[in-house]
Structures are given as structure tokens and as C-alpha cells.
Amino acid sequence: MKKYFLIAKHEFKTNVKRKEFLLMTIGMPLFIFAIVALPVLFIDNIDSEDVKIGYVDATNSFHSQDFVKYSDYESAKKALFEGEITHFFVVPPDYLSTGEINIYSTKKITSTVSGGVENQIKGFLLENLLSGESEELVERVKQPMKSEYFNLNKDKEEKEGIGAFLFPFGFAMLFVLSIFTSSGYLLQGIVEEKENRIIEILLSSVSHRDLLSGKILGLGAVGLAQLLIWFTGALLILSSAPVVAIGILGNLQISTLLGVLAPIYFLLGYLVFASIMAGVGAVSTTLREGQQLAGVFSMSGVIPLFFLQFIIMSPNSIFARLLSYFPLTSPLTMILRLSITEVPVYQSRPADVWKKANY
């Protein structure tokens, strides 16, 4: 068995047992879920049944079975303070000419609650203003269109939507988390071995090429294992909610070229950053010094995220193409460009060549 394979095996076993690896692999998805899902859960708990609306109609032309009608402002105000209703609104005599509606509540108005209350009031007003019209017309006035965007070219017609950006954004997040974590372990391991004088013993038994190759391959396997755990967890979650899974997967739009190049950019991107971190670790005397120097390269790798809106608006601009050719920014930039527009093959090849040459 070759020495670099033994080193890779050792690095893999050592790093998957790290507390940092377990925290990042398990804790990060939970943290992201808490940020995204908990607000949604709290919003869902604000049920429409908790909101009871009353109204005062000065025009005497509006009627509703869902809202409580009061004869005047004082009666509605009294009911509000006694807790019979949570909100009430007043339809003034000149409503048809001004469209003004005043809404009252004893609670502090939030965007979520006010939006739900306003939607209910709008529905109430439309149903009364369009009384006598068909239900289809009333619904169409409430929701005048359901739009979809299509990208037309000479060969085909492609449906566009938010799903077109789910894959590149997911790739970007996985790239940043997995690659920077794995390459960070490499930097930390090399510097620690230098500080503890272990590196001299290792170099007396193996060549520097076998040592670095084994470390890079082993930590690359750590990154892939991390991705595998995340994907497996995502599949288990989606399998428990098939309706949601169909909706998400149905919105994903991945071209053949994008599906082929994404793993390539991921692997080559890891090799670039791993090689850089290995070099930084070799020249650094302390871990703090190595982390400070490595931070410069890490920040360079996420530059495309800072110019995300510009790349989306102008994916074939000179600036976007330059980012595609630069090894540190190429993976994220090319995936973003490929998900938005067609990129000539000759523009993707130089990026690969640059990364291979850098490695």
C-alpha cells in the first residue's frame, strides 16, 4: 500500500472524529434550519382564527358574515378594548372617491399581522364592490395573473423561475462550507505538526510529496463525506414530505453542462484551496499566523458572492469573465454564470486549465 494512501486514511479517520467536524456537519444544518424555519413556524402560528375583525360602515353598503358590524366608531372601539375583536376598520362616507380605510388595533402592528389583516379587508371590500358578478371574476380581480417566465432561443424554450437559482446558490454554500472547512483542517494540521516537531519525524519516513498528497486526498474525502451526510439528510427529510419534495425538485432546472461541470469545479476548487492552505501551513510558524494569511485567500474565494447581483444581471460581462478565469473565484463564478445563461465552452476551459496548473 502506497504511503500517501496510508496518510490519507489516517487524516480521514482523525478528522471525522474531530469535535469541529461533528459540530459543522450536524450543527450547521440545524443552525440554518433554525434561521429559516423557525420564523416561518412562528408566522404560521399566527392563525387567522386569532384575528377577529370588526368594521364600521358609514356608507351602509357593505356586508359580511366573517366580520362583526358596528353602528358607530365608539361601539367598535369599546368592543376592541373589551377583547371582543382584535381589529376594526372604518369605511368613510367618501370611500368610493378616496379609497381611504382606517384600521385600528390595541396591539403593536407588525408587517406580518398587518399584511394578513389588510388582505382580509381587501377581500371583503372586493366581494362587496363586485357583488352580483361571477365568482370567477371576483377571484380574477383578487389575483389578476399567475406569471411564468420563459427563456427563448433558436433551439428550445426553457421555463425560468426561482428554481433556476436554487442549484447555484446551494452549490455556493456547500462549496464555501465544505471546501473551506476541509482546507482549514489541512492548514491546522500542518501548522500543529510543525509546532510539535512531528513534521521532521514524518519527513524522515516519507517524501514531502507523499505527505502533502496524502493529506490533501484524506481531507478531500472528509469534505466529500460531509457532503454525503448533508445530501443523505436532505433526502431523508424530503422523503418524509413527498409533496414538498416534488415541488422543490420540480423547480430545479439543471442543464447537462451545469450538472457535468459543477462536480468538476468543486473537486478542482478544493485542490486549489487545499494546495494554498498546505503552502500557507508550510511557511507559517504559528497557527494564528497561518489563519491570518489563509484568510486573504479564503476571502478571495467568496468574492463572487459580493458581486452576485452584478453577475446575475450581466453574466457575460468582462468582469464576470475575468472572475471565471481566476482560479480562486472561478468555481463560484462559473456555476453562477452557467445557471443563468449559456457560456461558451472556450470560456470554461481556461478556468479548468488555470486550476490544474495552479495545483
Based on the fold, state whether residues 241 and 281 are members of the same structural domain.
yes
Q: Are residues 321 and 246 in the same domain?
A: yes
Query: pLDDT: is 154 or 265 the higher one?
Result: 265
Which residue, 88, 114, 145, sits at the end of a domain?
Answer: 145
* pLDDT greater than 70 at residue 23: yes
Tell me, what CATH number does 99's domain have? Answer: 3.40.190
Most confident range, picked from 18-32, 55-69, 265-279: 55-69
Q: Please report the pLDDT score of residue 78 as a whole number.
A: 92
Instruction: Tell me the per-residue pLDDT of 96-127, one tens digit each, with 9 for 90 and over.
Output: 888 889 999 887 766 555 667 888 888 888 88
Residue with cell 384600521: 103
How far is Cα 325 from Cα 190, in angstroms, rounded to an integer? 29
Set of cell numbers at residue 248: 422543490
Q: Which of 120, 145, 170 is the last residue of a domain?
A: 145
Is the predicted pLDDT of residue 207 greater than 90, yes or no? no
Q: What is the largest CA-CA distance in the chain?
A: 95
Query: Of 276, 298, 296, nearest to 190 (Cα)?
Result: 276
Q: Residue 255: count other Cβ atoms within 10 Å of its Cβ.
A: 14
Q: Is residue 151 part of a domain?
A: no
Q: Are 122 and 260 in a shared domain? A: no
pLDDT in tens, 300-334: 888 888 888 888 788 888 998 888 888 888 888 88
- CB within 8 Å of 319: residues ≥ 6 apart: 307, 310
Task: Summarize the confidence of residues 30-44 as an average pLDDT.
Answer: 69
Going from the C-alpha of 74 to that of each of 79, 94, 105, 203, the distances in angstroms are 9, 20, 13, 88
Q: How confident is the model at residue 191 (pLDDT cuts 50, 70, 90)?
A: confident
Regarding whether 181 and 58 lie in a shared domain, the answer is no
Which of 57, 62, 54 is closest to 129 using CA atoms? 62
Confidence of residue 350 (pLDDT cuts 50, 70, 90): very low
- Domain hosting 139: range is 51-145
Mean pLDDT over each residue of the chain, to the nearest integer: 77
